Amino acid sequence: MDESRTFDVVILAAGKGTRMRSTLPKVLHRLAGTSLVEHVIRTARALKPAAIHVVYGHGGETVLEQLKPLGVDGVRQEPQLGTGHALQQAMPLVKSGAVLVLYGDVPLTRTATLAPLVAAAARGALAVLTAELPDPAGYGRIVRDSGGNVLRIVEHKDASDAERKIREVNTGILAAPAAQLRAWLAQLQNNNAQGEYYLTDIIGMAARDGFRIETASAPADWEILGVNSKAQLAELERIHQRNRANELMEQGVTLMDPARFDLRGTLTCGQDVEIDVNVVIEGQVRLGDRVKIGPNNVLKNCTVGADTLVHPNCVIEDAVIGNDCRIGPFARLRPAAEIADRGHIGNFVEIKKSKVGEGSKVNHLAYVGDSTVGKGVNIGAGAITANYDGANKHHTEIGDNASVGSNCVLVAPVKIGDGATLGAGSVISKDAPAGELTVARAKATTIPGWKRPKKRDTRDKIQDTSKKP
């Protein structure tokens, strides 16, 4: 492999995040349901680098544990002596000809914005991502000569009054040939206000050495915004969600209010999908043609078939819903729930690890767990499958076209035959035959002359005790 044509990514993620006011390391705080550093890793991976190295520090073991399943290298920085020192810790792992440096708390940079930096480094240049900000306070400024050539970067706290008026800022993101980067890092000094080794100082070194410095500008300010507080995290969350909402609407999805929509995973939609307000999408969700999702729903890792209507206030997780179904309001579909075409799952109904057949209805206040429900079944209000004996789960089978009366309890394991009818209020603890009515309830008894107890009237007693002797 030609090392000059490959590159590594180093993500600096060692900061403590004091302003987050949290015991959780800053880069592990979540944006759209995913940690900040994982957003950066996903972006880096899309560029197809040879390797990704994450430099961590504060919350070390916690961060390292989160990194393990992501297939990246973890490099510890201890103590934390600045960004230049952090990159020094990772350089021994770099085997490629170039390095792209990203930051674990800057989650919204796009791959298209970073690609020119990688290309410039492959050509042998030092490439720096900059941005023009109306209020550059807090950012390092790009100092250029009269010909527009980059001379150096000065940090805000070390800048003069004249330098603070410069609006072009350094984002911290850069790419460079690995060999030159190693040489510059070895020359870093910490003679600054913070006593740290600034990575930005290598820009001045490159200019001094006559090295070619190229810059690229971030198309949108939000691409370079970092997270240092909960307020900034919330700001980026809304920016990200609005971007995702715009993408969906461009694909033809109708969002009743893009400002009240949260996508924390991946959403795939057919044509003419409508999503009402305050809907939260998590994990992998697929919606078929003409699906309508009412307000206040949570959908996680589920598939919803064409022409299905999900009424308000439902929670649907790890479930599969067929075509032309009606779900809710206030329904809960738990993992491994499968609703076939034209199924109805109504208000305050819970389905768990069960298959509900085509055209079957569970419309009111019912629980179906660990069950197989056939076609055309009607399950009445208040009916439940008693699937748990305190130690083990047991299965209930309900045949096609069966009718389960209101307030029935089906004590699993039990089988209800095709076309069977269960009388309301029955406790069914043994198989019910097909095509027959099965009733299992206590005989009604009337007790003549029985009087309902009356509440004792304590008002007189209270009045008596309040009198003075």
For the annotated catalytic residues, the residue numbers are 364
Nearest-CA neighbor of 291 among 311, 317, 277? 311
Torsion, Cα of 359, 363, 365, 369 (10° steps): 10
* The amino acid at 137: A
CB 385 within 8 A of CB 410: yes
Q: How far apart are CA 320 and CA 120, in angstroms?
A: 47
DSSP string, 136-198: -TTSPEEEE-TTS-EEEEE-GGG--HHHHT--EEEEEEEEEEHHHHHHHHHT----STT----
Measured distance CA(369)–CA(390) in Å, rounded: 14
The torsion angles phi and psi of 91, rounded to 5 degrees, stand at -55, -35
Give the angle 150-88-75 at the CA atoms, nearest 5°: 130
Between CA 263 and CA 90 the distance in angstroms is 34
Bridge partners (DSSP) listed for residue 415: 397
- As a 3-state breakdown, the chain gives helix, strand, coil percent values, each rounded to 5, of 25, 30, 45
